[in-house]
């Protein structure tokens, strides 16, 4: 009986989904790659780390190597943890004084360590730095961020957000 | 908490109320052997499976035979899954050449998937090749869910008014659950998830260049696999074991707010439908509605409370200038361990749904919740996974509490208690008490063994109250077959793996076996027609009585332990100002 069920649910069922995915939704079933000049530079759902000041930074990642797609991880630190409080403080200091409190998503690690988004507030907070280091008008960069804001699905599901990879790719196009 | 989050809760409730009744009626028909117009096309699959295994489908089993068939299947399942993991180095579809899974992790995982717990001692993309994911985990996701549904089907037959000898045929029930319910639903959900960007491939990884030139020289690699097919059944079958280590927080398991909502709905769908299955198969619509109302009455307030708590700021932000206020531009809240696309509201709503049911899949890290936010999923598990509970197991657990409720009411007025017209005797109440108390005993003793031993404490990430919470959460999860975790708890150590595996076995069979014994006894009784003194099995008073019993039992068992964990942590952080 287990053998029969194994064939049905462990072979036939996944292969049906595989067949459907690879024929009708092939791009998504293979990780939704994003190309630039013929080179795959990202996969839509998976975030990337950015360290240079001229890019918008993603959220802190708790992966051993940040944004390591081979090993998703979270910090698992509790709200009363000394370690978490120290991390948050260090992140706030590392971000420097750009005026005003730091949006919470920029100083907390995501659940997956691969979060592709920051909040619109988190992106706007970085506009000054990005514009300054790139020698661009802050207004142009702010405009670009606002163009990349995704609202809630159907107006209620999820949270407003900005896809950091897409934003940075568009930023590289601005000259 | 935003109005959007409240609207989402309302939408969830409305969709459940729309979808659960027809699905429940379908369940009742399937287990009565009437697959319906579309289901008829699947009957040849059902027959082939039964004939292939040499099952005499017409043979009705007594409760002992039914239980033995179940145990035999589960024992073989544990051995097979254990063997697959230990032999994975020599098996195909292991492109990354992963070695054998450590024995204690493999044992824990085998027990975990067969008991429908799906506690993740393993981290999917790190330890398991595709063959183990497909032939091991995906298969047991179906089989363990269908087993719970089969036990419920047997119990519901026993509750039919006319006396009967057998409870039905375990193998037939098992196959019908898979073929007519779980498989079609999973296919639909898997396709919907594919459209949102959940991957499904046999490739094991992919790579891309980093965009930031400062990172040039290395590439970003990401694990891939047959994810959509497994995520669909892990959500629908209240299994919860993820393809990836971080479960549905991973962008390849749950890429968009819409995929999140569909997966959330899938967690609650079958357990809610079971109420209408009962209503339909024992022809007591008022009772089915009352059970569902009791489930919502337990789930909704706790869910809303957790959503509110997690939308607040965290003591970990201390005096640092951090803006956690919700606004048009951010969802704010306690974002440690949460994904931006979901925010605190949907993370907390999911946490409540996944622990109200026995799913245990997560889209945010419960360990990083605020103390009272983490108390909610813990308490929901400790209530015994009855609101809404696991597929099948949730409703049979709920029926146990209904028996206690009518028993208490019977004591109050001095009448022999009866449930759906069947008189309850000493044997029935013994079985009920055993089934309700055993999981709690496993939770409390397991927690005590971990915090009292050096080897056990080495699994704890934190000291003090939060460390205690990590242990209490782990055993609440294992003993009630949930599977979610305070992830700081390092379960991948021999002592923790073995103790948790034992707790899972007690939590599963310590309930399922007494329920079958109870069914065997109730089946032989004839229902008596209601008299003026009969306690109505529907209506507000019954719901209040039932909810009261569940909360009372849960509170009596666990308030002392909760006081040492999340409550102490909350008080501590308010005393120290952080």
φ, ψ of residue A48 to 5 degrees: the values are -135, 155
Strand duo A102-103 + B322-323: pairing: parallel
Q: What is the distance in angstroms between the Cα of A132 and the nearest Cα belonging to chain B?
A: 17
The predicted-structure confidence for A21-41, as pLDDT tens digits, reads as follows 999 999 999 999 999 999 999
A51 CB neighbours in chain B (<8 A) are 212, 214-215
- Whole-number Cα distances in Å, A74 to A114, B159, B253, B364, B501: 9, 47, 15, 9, 24
Q: What is the distance in angstroms between the Cα of A78 and the nearest Cα belonging to chain B?
A: 4
The predicted structure's pLDDT at residue B111 = 96
Tokens 């008080």 locate to B571
A1 CB neighbours in chain B (<8 A) are 49, 52-53, 55, 73, 171, 174-175
Interchain contact A66–B (C-beta under 8 A): no
Interchain contact A152–B (C-beta under 8 A): yes
The predicted structure's pLDDT at residue B318 = 82
Q: Which of B133, B316, B319, B348 to mutate to test the interface with A (most CBs of A within 10 A)?
A: B316
Interface of B with A in 541-570 (CB under 8 A): 569
Interchain contact B575–A (C-beta under 8 A): no
Contact criterion met (CB < 8 Å) for A76 and B487: yes
Q: Which residue of B has its CA nearest to A82?
A: B316
Q: What is the distance in angstroms between the Cα of B414 and the nearest Cα belonging to chain A?
A: 49
Contact criterion met (CB < 8 Å) for A115 and B486: no
Interchain contact A111–B (C-beta under 8 A): yes
A169 CB neighbours in chain B (<8 A) are 211
Q: Which of A6, A11, A14, A164 to mutate to test the interface with B (most CBs of B within 10 A)?
A: A14
The predicted structure's pLDDT at residue B574 = 57
Q: Are B443 and B479 in contact (CB under 8 A)?
A: yes
d(CA B301, CA B282): 30
Residue from B488, B346, B252 nearest A114 by CA: B252
C-alpha neighbours within 13 Å on the C-beta side of residue B520: 16
Interchain contact A142–B (C-beta under 8 A): no
Residue ranges of alpha helices (H) inside A34-137 are 82-95, 120-125, 127-134
Q: Which two tokens stand for residue A100?
A: 């005003």
Interchain contact A147–B (C-beta under 8 A): no
pLDDT per residue rounded down to tens, chain B (578 residues): 789 999 999 999 999 999 999 999 999 999 999 988 888 999 999 999 999 999 999 999 999 999 999 999 999 999 999 999 999 988 888 888 889 999 999 999 999 999 999 988 877 778 888 999 999 999 999 999 999 999 999 999 999 999 999 999 999 999 999 999 999 999 999 999 999 999 999 999 999 999 999 998 899 999 999 999 999 999 999 999 889 999 999 999 999 999 999 999 999 999 999 999 999 999 999 999 999 999 999 999 999 999 999 999 999 998 789 999 999 999 999 999 999 999 999 999 999 999 999 999 999 999 999 999 999 999 999 999 998 999 999 999 999 999 999 999 999 888 889 999 999 999 999 999 999 999 999 999 999 999 999 999 999 988 889 999 999 999 999 999 999 999 889 888 899 999 999 999 999 999 999 999 999 999 999 999 888 878 888 999 999 999 999 999 999 999 999 999 999 999 886 544 43
Q: Which two tokens stand for residue B343?
A: 């925010």
Residue A54 neighbours by CB under 8 Å, 6+ apart? A130, A133, A134
Average pLDDT per consecutive 10 residues, chain A (175 residues; last block may be shorter)? 95 97 95 94 96 96 94 92 93 86 96 98 96 96 97 95 97 89
d(CA A129, CA A135): 10
A155 CB neighbours in chain B (<8 A) are 4
The predicted structure's pLDDT at residue B576 = 46
What average pLDDT does the structure give for chain A? 95
Q: What is the distance in angstroms between the Cα of A105 and the nearest Cα belonging to chain B?
A: 6
Interchain contact B364–A (C-beta under 8 A): yes
Residue B434 neighbours by CB under 8 Å, 6+ apart? B510, B514
Tokens 């962008």 locate to B251
Q: Are B508 and B117 in contact (CB under 8 A)?
A: yes
CA geometry: angle at B363 spanning B362 and B365, to 5°?
Answer: 75
Q: Which two tokens stand for residue B170?
A: 């375990």
Q: What is the distance in angstroms between the Cα of B558 and the nearest Cα belonging to chain A?
A: 21
Residue B264 neighbours by CB under 8 Å, 6+ apart? B12, B346, B349, B350, B353
Contact criterion met (CB < 8 Å) for B336 and A30: no
B333 CB neighbours in chain A (<8 A) are 104
């Amino acid at each position: 009986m287990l053998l029969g069920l194994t064939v049905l649910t462990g072979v036939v069922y996944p292969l049906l989904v595989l067949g459907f995915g690879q024929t009708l939704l092939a791009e998504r079933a293979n990780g939704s790659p994003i190309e630039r000049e013929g080179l795959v530079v990202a996969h839509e759902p998976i975030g990337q780390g950015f360290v240079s000041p001229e890019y918008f930074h993603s959220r802190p990642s708790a992966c051993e190597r940040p944004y390591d797609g081979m090993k998703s991880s979270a910090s698992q630190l509790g709200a009363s943890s000394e370690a978490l409080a120290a991390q948050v403080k260090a992140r706030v200091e590392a971000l420097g004084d750009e005026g005003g409190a730091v949006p919470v998503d920029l100083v907390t690690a995501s659940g997956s360590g691969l979060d592709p988004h920051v909040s619109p507030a988190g992106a706007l907070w970085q506009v000054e730095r990005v514009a300054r280091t790139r020698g661009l008008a802050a207004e142009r960069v702010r405009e670009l961020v606002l163009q990349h804001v995704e609202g809630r699905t159907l107006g209620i599901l999820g949270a407003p957000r900005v896809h950091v990879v897409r934003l940075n790719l568009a930023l590289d196009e601005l000259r | 908490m935003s109005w959007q989050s409240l609207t989402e809760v309302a939408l969830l409730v409305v969709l459940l109320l729309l979808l659960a009744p027809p699905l429940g009626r379908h369940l009742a028909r399937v287990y009565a052997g009437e697959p319906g117009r579309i289901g008829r096309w699947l009957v040849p699959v059902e027959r082939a499976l039964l004939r292939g295994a040499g099952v005499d489908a017409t043979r009705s089993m007594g409760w002992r035979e039914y239980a033995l068939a179940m145990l035999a299947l589960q024992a073989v399942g544990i051995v097979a899954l254990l063997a697959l993991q230990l032999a994975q180095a020599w098996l195909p579809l292991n492109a990354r050449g992963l070695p054998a899974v450590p024995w204690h992790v493999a044992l824990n995982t085998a027990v975990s998937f067969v008991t429908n717990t799906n506690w993740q001692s393993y981290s999917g993309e790190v330890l398991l090749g595709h063959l183990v994911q497909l032939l091991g985990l995906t298969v047991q996701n179906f089989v363990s869910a269908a087993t719970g549904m089969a036990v419920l089907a047997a119990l519901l037959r026993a509750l039919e008014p006319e006396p009967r000898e057998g409870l039905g045929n375990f193998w037939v029930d098992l196959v019908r659950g898979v073929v007519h319910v779980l498989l079609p639903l999973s296919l639909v959900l898997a396709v919907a998830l594919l459209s949102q960007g959940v991957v499904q491939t046999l490739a094991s990884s992919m790579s891309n260049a980093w965009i930031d030139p400062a990172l040039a020289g290395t590439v970003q690699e990401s694990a891939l696999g047959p994810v959509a097919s497994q995520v669909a059944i892990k959500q629908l079958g209240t299994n919860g074991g993820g393809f990836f280590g971080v479960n549905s927080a991973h962008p390849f398991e749950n890429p968009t707010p819409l995929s999140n909502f569909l997966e959330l709905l899938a967690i609650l769908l079958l357990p809610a439908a079971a109420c209408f299955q009962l209503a339909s198969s024992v022809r007591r619509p008022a009772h089915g509605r009352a059970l569902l109302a009791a489930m919502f009455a337990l789930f909704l307030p706790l869910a809303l409370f957790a959503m509110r708590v997690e939308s607040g700021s965290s003591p970990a932000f201390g005096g640092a200038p951090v803006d956690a206020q919700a606004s048009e531009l951010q969802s704010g809240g306690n974002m440690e361990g949460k994904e931006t696309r979901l925010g605190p509201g949907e993370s907390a709503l999911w946490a409540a749904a996944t622990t109200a049911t026995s799913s245990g899949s997560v889209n945010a890290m419960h360990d990083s919740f605020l103390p009272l936010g983490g108390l909610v999923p813990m308490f929901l598990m400790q209530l015994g996974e009855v609101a809404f509970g696991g597929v099948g197991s949730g409703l049979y657990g709920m029926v146990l509490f209904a028996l206690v409720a009518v028993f208490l009411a019977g004591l109050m007025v001095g009448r022999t208690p009866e449930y759906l017209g069947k008189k309850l005797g000493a044997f029935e109440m013994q079985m009920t008490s055993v089934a309700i108390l055993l999981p709690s005993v496993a939770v409390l003793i397991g927690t005590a063994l971990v915090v009292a031993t050096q080897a056990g404490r080495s699994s704890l990430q934190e000291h003090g109250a939060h460390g205690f919470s990590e242990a209490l959460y782990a055993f609440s999860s294992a003993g009630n077959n949930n599977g979610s975790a305070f992830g700081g708890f390092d379960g991948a150590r021999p002592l923790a793996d073995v103790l948790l595996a034992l707790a899972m076995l007690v939590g599963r069979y310590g309930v399922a076996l007494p329920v079958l014994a109870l069914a065997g006894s109730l089946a032989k009784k004839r229902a008596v027609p209601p008299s003026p003194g009969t306690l109505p099995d529907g209506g507000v008073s019954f719901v209040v009585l039932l909810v009261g019993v569940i909360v009372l039992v849960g509170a009596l068992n666990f308030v002392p332990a909760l006081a040492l964990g999340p409550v102490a942590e909350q008080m501590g952080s308010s005393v120290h100002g952080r």
